[in-house]
């Protein structure tokens, strides 16, 4: 986790860069900063990996060296041969997705991403979060990418980014009904199901998830974990909860949305 001052620098830097670029490309994401304190899945237009900031604009990838946050340096603009819908970073790799699949790049050399592989099992319509050598992926029936099978939660082995493998798939209305987004904190997976509530799993063994909490009469469209607390997006505002006991979430505060 980034030190507090580093988090602030990254947020300010990202706000500055994305604010400037947003005037030209409309790329400022509505959930900017979602993955700074905890890991929440998002259809983001930017990603930070170490001292490198990557911003996507359709088929272009822009790179900034942010080792000195007060003076970011732009590197070469890279053209990719597909339209990127979302981007995220993990473990020296960059993941760019669209409606047909996920393209993985090695960014250990920040200014020269190298293509690693393509995986058709993840698209821009899927929520994805990582924990160690596992990735959790949701697929929602009737999404914009044409998924027609029942909604499901898949666990992938990502120990080798050149060859992703499915470890287990969870499905069925008692397990997952309408997945909207995912979030993960140490050994805990959160599955937001919009108007159908929030599910919480113990993820110590990724392919052996144990449901430890379920709030069916609860709105959860997105969640950002931060230690023992979490910010949860409802239809009418942002809610803060103490999540230290998954069986008994404790309400702390609410910030209403402005009409």
**Residue 190: pLDDT over 90:** yes
Phi, psi of 92 (to 5 degrees): 65, 25
Residues composing the chain: 259
Phi, psi of 23 (to 5 degrees): -65, -30
Q: Which residue has the tokens 């947020």?
A: 11
| pLDDT band, very low/low/confident/very high, at 192 (cuts 50, 70, 90) | very high
Residue 150 covered by a domain:
no
Residue 69 covered by a domain:
yes
**Residue 36: pLDDT over 60:** no
Phi, psi of 16 (to 5 degrees): -65, -50
- Total structural domains in the chain? 1
**Residue 191: pLDDT over 90:** yes
Residue 131 covered by a domain:
no
Q: What is the pLDDT of residue 14?
A: 47
| pLDDT band, very low/low/confident/very high, at 30 (cuts 50, 70, 90) | very low
Q: How many CB atoms sit inside 10 A of residue 205's CB?
A: 11
**Residue 170: pLDDT over 70:** yes
Q: What is the pLDDT of residue 162?
A: 93
Q: Which element (helix H / strand E) includes 87?
A: strand 86-90
| pLDDT band, very low/low/confident/very high, at 149 (cuts 50, 70, 90) | confident
**Residue 176: pLDDT over 90:** no
Residue 24 covered by a domain:
yes
Residue 18 covered by a domain:
yes
Q: Which of 40, 63, 146, 184 is closest to 112 using CA atoms? A: 63
Q: What is the pLDDT of residue 201?
A: 92
Residue 88 covered by a domain:
yes
Q: Which residue has the tokens 């970073």?
A: 89
Range of 71's domain? Answer: 1-124
Residue 99 covered by a domain:
yes
Residue 85 covered by a domain:
yes
Q: Which residue has the higher pLDDT, 45 or 19?
A: 45
| pLDDT band, very low/low/confident/very high, at 9 (cuts 50, 70, 90) | very low
- Nearest 5°: the CA angle 208, 1, 41 is 55
- Per residue in 128-146, pLDDT (tens digit) is 889 999 999 888 877 776 7
Mean pLDDT of 92-119: 87
Q: What is the mean pLDDT of the chain?
A: 79
- Per residue in 71-85, pLDDT (tens digit) is 889 988 888 877 777
Mean pLDDT of 32-49: 54
- Per residue in 235-259, pLDDT (tens digit) is 889 999 999 887 788 999 999 987 6
Q: What is the pLDDT of residue 202?
A: 92
Q: Cα separation of 136 and 226, whole Å?
A: 19
Q: Which residues pair with 73 in a beta bridge?
A: 65
- Per residue in 210-227, pLDDT (tens digit) is 988 888 888 999 898 888
Q: Which residue has the higher pLDDT, 147 or 224?
A: 224
Q: Which residues pair with 134 in a beta bridge?
A: 131, 157
By CB atoms closer than 10 A (0-12, 13-18, 19+), residue 20 is exposed
């Amino acid at each position: 986790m980034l030190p507090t001052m580093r988090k602030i620098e990254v947020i300010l830097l990202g706000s500055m860069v994305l604010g400037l670029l947003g005037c030209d490309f409309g790329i400022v994401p509505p959930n900017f900063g979602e993955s700074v304190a905890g890991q929440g899945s998002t259809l983001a237009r930017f990603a930070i990996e170490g001292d490198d900031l990557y911003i996507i604009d359709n088929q272009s990838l822009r790179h900034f060296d942010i080792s000195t946050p007060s003076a970011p340096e732009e590197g070469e603009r890279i053209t990719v041969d597909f339209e990127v819908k979302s981007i995220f970073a993990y473990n020296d790799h960059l993941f760019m997705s669209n409606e047909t699949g996920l393209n993985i790049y090695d960014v250990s050399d920040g200014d020269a991403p190298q293509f690693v592989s393509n995986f058709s099992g993840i698209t821009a319509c899927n929520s994805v979060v990582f924990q160690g050598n596992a990735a959790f992926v949701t697929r929602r029936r009737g999404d914009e990418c044409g998924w027609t099978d029942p909604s499901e939660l898949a666990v992938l082995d990502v120990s080798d980014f050149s060859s992703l493998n499915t470890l287990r798939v969870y499905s069925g209305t008692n397990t997952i009904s309408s997945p909207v987004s995912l979030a993960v904190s140490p050994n805990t997976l959160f599955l937001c199901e919009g108007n159908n509530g929030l599910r919480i799993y113990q993820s110590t063994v990724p392919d052996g998830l144990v449901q430890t909490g379920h709030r069916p009469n609860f709105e959860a469209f997105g969640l950002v974990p931060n230690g023992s607390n979490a910010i949860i997006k409802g239809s009418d505002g942002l809610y803060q909860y103490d999540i230290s006991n998954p069986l008994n979430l404790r309400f702390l505060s609410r910030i209403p949305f402005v009409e």
